[in-house]
DNA sequence: CGGTTATTTGAAATACGTCAATTCAAGTGG
DNA sequence: CCACTTGAATTGACGTATTTCAAATAACCG
């Protein structure tokens, strides 16, 4: 149960035994929510949490129903800490599948006071990673074409799923959800997916992504940074 | 000279006299750069700075020349602190006009160690604001139409320029720059501007924006958060 | 004033969105 | 095991927002 969380934090530091225990201890206080539940509402005061299992997304909904998804929250990742003004959160977090969450406020405070290295360092690192992802997402939204967006997105998800370079990985998202993340209509996304499938680049089916040709996908993406340093 | 910086920091806390002196002291170490200069290169280690005068932008350039601007840096604002992975900055900051900058690393460290309130609090607040702006920007890029993007952008700039609700304010950006921020072609941006001008909503000329009808502009934007809480 | 950069406009191509149906997959209850 | 329901995926036809190409001003600068 603690595996996803430990795996993510462990990527940045070797965790001490008592830190691992602290994480295990968190698990007992977890809560379960059904898909569609609002885990964290925009305008409420910030409340950092960990997502132990399932998928969620951070988003904003416009008056007329249009939706922009800012980021996805994968098992073991945190949410609810960033981008608040006057203590007011600026984004809503919604469960996409059945999920389990646990409050991380006290845990994070303890980590910060314990040591600037170790756990605290790992938590900071995941936040920085989130920041960097946001920049990529902005480039994707503003400057990539639909097929580039999709290719780029699939590769990001492959990497984040931990299944580096694996031929298939879990991607429990509907096309509607993906389209709201990429800023494209569902219908158009569907057509782009058909195209990519026919070229044997990716194949989405039943919540699983099959990558037929990772190199080809990367080629379909215009990698962000220029060659020059 | 210190005015823009003091004004921005002062929005969040009443600054103590020695804090004001510290800011004034910074000024003496300022450096001047010409338009087009790269103030901060992606991949370099993070180095927080203040922009004392002039305008800059944070951006990324794609291989094929496409550019996405993440945010603008106005006089008195800071840059170079956020979103780094492994200490590597993820964005490039470029001077759009002639600018003056000063290194803020030591200054910020001192503020943090001095007190969790006062100056440090103000600095944190500006960073949170930047975060929130990024979310708005994502919605704009992903879910607004060109004319909505422009209206939304003008209103953001009006607010940030401090000239709340003023009929005109400085906006020293070329249409090319604006188009790279909004994820639209220059040509199309130009046509949208013509449209908005003909409706007497905004008028850009000579680096100054004239807002003819702020209410109308707001109506042309789909305000992000939904009515429900 | 000449040279460069920014703005503006037209015409044509296309990427993408909307509307409306149809198919498909996955329950659910009988 | 079979209707029956529901939500997601898929497809066609059509309209439009936006891009690209090319060229003509207009503004800027030494």
More confident call, B206 vs A16: B206
Note the CA–C1' distance, A108 to D23, in angstroms: 61
> CA–CA separation, B227 vs B229, rounded Å?
7
Output the pLDDT for position B87.
74
Distance, C-alpha B65 to centroid of its chain:
22
Quick count: other Cβ atoms within 10 Å of Cβ B177?
20
Check if residue B175 sits with its Cβ under 7 angstroms from strand C: yes
Query: Where do the structural domains in chain B lie, given as residue ranges?
Result: 3-137, 145-220
Output the pLDDT for position A43.
86
Average pLDDT, whole number, for chain A? Answer: 91
Q: Residue B58: which H helix or E strand, with range?
A: strand B56-61
CB proximity list for B116: less than 8 A, separation 6 or greater? none
Q: Which of A179, A209, A182 is nearest to A197 (CA)?
A: A209
| Torsion angle, alpha carbons of A91, B226, A45, A26, to 10 | -50
Tokens representing A112 are: 């910060």
- CATH dotted code for A145-220: 1.10.10.10
| Torsion angle, alpha carbons of B166, B168, B173, B176, to 10 | 110
pLDDT tens digits for range A137-193: 999 999 999 999 999 999 999 999 987 788 999 999 999 999 999 999 999 999 999
Do A223 and B43 lie within an 8 Å CB cutoff? no
pLDDT tens digits for range B58-79: 999 999 999 999 999 999 999 9
More confident call, A116 vs B49: B49
Split at pLDDT 50, 70, 90, the class of B225 is very low
> CA–CA separation, B34 vs B96, rounded Å?
8
Q: How far are the Cα atoms of A5, A55, A74, B46, B149 from residue A77, in angstroms, in the given order?
A: 7, 9, 6, 25, 32
Q: Is the pLDDT of residue B206 over 90?
A: yes
Distance, C-alpha B19 to centroid of its chain:
24
Split at pLDDT 50, 70, 90, the class of A226 is very low
pLDDT tens digits for range B33-45: 999 999 999 988 8
CB proximity list for A124: less than 8 A, separation 6 or greater? none
Helix, strand, coil proportions of chain B in percent (round to 5)? 45, 20, 35
Q: Which of A215, A214, A216, A190 is nearest to A204 (CA)?
A: A190
Tokens representing A198 are: 């026919």
Output the pLDDT for position A100.
96
Which residues of B are less than 8 Å from A64 in CB distance? 222
Most confident option among A111-120, A161-170, B157-166, B211-220: B211-220
Q: Is the pLDDT of residue A215 over 90?
A: yes
| Torsion angle, alpha carbons of A131, A137, A138, A144, to 10 | 150
Do B103 and B49 meet the contact criterion of CB atoms below 8 Å apart? Answer: yes
Q: Is the pLDDT of residue A228 over 60?
A: no
Q: Is the pLDDT of residue A131 over 50?
A: yes
> CA–CA separation, A146 vs A133, rounded Å?
18
Check if residue B174 sits with its Cβ under 7 angstroms from strand C: yes
Q: Residue A203: which H helix or E strand, with range?
A: strand A202-205
Q: Residue B129: which H helix or E strand, with range?
A: helix B118-143
Q: Which CATH superfamily is domain B3-137 in?
A: Jelly Rolls (2.60.120.10)
Could you give the strand order of the β-sheet that contains A38-40, starting from the edge strand earlier in sequence?
A38-40, A92-95, A56-61, A67-73
Which residues of B are less than 8 Å from A138 in CB distance? 68, 70, 134, 137-138, 141
R_g of chain B computed on alpha carbons:
18
Output the pLDDT for position B223.
62
> CA–CA separation, A158 vs B122, rounded Å?
39
Which residues of A are less than 8 Å from B66 in CB distance? 143, 222
Output the pLDDT for position B51.
97
Q: CA B224, A188, A67 angle in degrees (round to 5)?
A: 15
> CA–CA separation, B9 vs B76, rounded Å?
8
Do A175 and A190 meet the contact criterion of CB atoms below 8 Å apart? Answer: yes
> CA–CA separation, B189 vs B147, rounded Å?
8
Do B139 and A62 lie within an 8 Å CB cutoff? yes
Give the CA count within 13 Å in the CB-facing half-sphere of A13.
Answer: 17
Note the CA–C1' distance, A63 to D7, in angstroms: 24
Split at pLDDT 50, 70, 90, the class of B229 is very low
Do B130 and B82 meet the contact criterion of CB atoms below 8 Å apart? Answer: yes
Nearest nt to the CA of A206 via C1' is: C25
Do A143 and B62 lie within an 8 Å CB cutoff? yes
Give the burial class of B17: count Cβ atoms within 10 A of its Cβ; 0-12 exposed, 13-18 middle, 19 or more buried: exposed
Q: What percent of chain A has pLDDT over 70?
A: 96
CB proximity list for A18: less than 8 A, separation 6 or greater? none
> Residue B160 in 3-state DSSP?
helix
Check if residue B189 sits with its Cβ under 7 angstroms from strand C: no
């Amino acid at each position: 149960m603690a595996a996803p969380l430990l795996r993510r934090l462990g990527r940045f530091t070797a965790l001490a035994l008592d830190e691992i225990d602290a994480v295990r201890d968190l698990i007992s206080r977890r809560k379960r929510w059904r898909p569609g539940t609002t885990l964290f509402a925009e305008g409420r005061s910030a409340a950092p949490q960990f997502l132990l299992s399932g998928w969620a997304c951070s988003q904003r909904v416009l008056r007329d129903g249009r939706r922009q998804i800012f980021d996805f929250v994968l098992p073991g990742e945190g949410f609810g800490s960033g981008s608040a003004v006057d203590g007011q959160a600026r984004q809503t977090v919604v469960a996409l599948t059945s999920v389990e969450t646990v409050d991380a406020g006290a845990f994070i405070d303890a980590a910060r006071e314990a040591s600037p290295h170790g756990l605290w360092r790992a938590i900071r690192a995941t936040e920085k990673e989130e920041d960097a992802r946001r920049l990529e997402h902005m480039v994707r939204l503003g400057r990539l074409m639909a097929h580039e967006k999709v290719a780029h997105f699939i590769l990001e998800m492959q990497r984040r799923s931990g299944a580096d370079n694996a031929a298939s990985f879990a991607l429990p998202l509907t096309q509607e959800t993906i389209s709201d993340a990429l800023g494209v209509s569902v219908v158009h996304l569907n057509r782009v997916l058909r195209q990519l499938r026919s070229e044997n680049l990716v194949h989405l089916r039943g919540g699983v992504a099959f990558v037929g040709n990772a190199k080809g996908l990367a080629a379909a993406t215009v990698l962000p940074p220029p060659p020059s340093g």
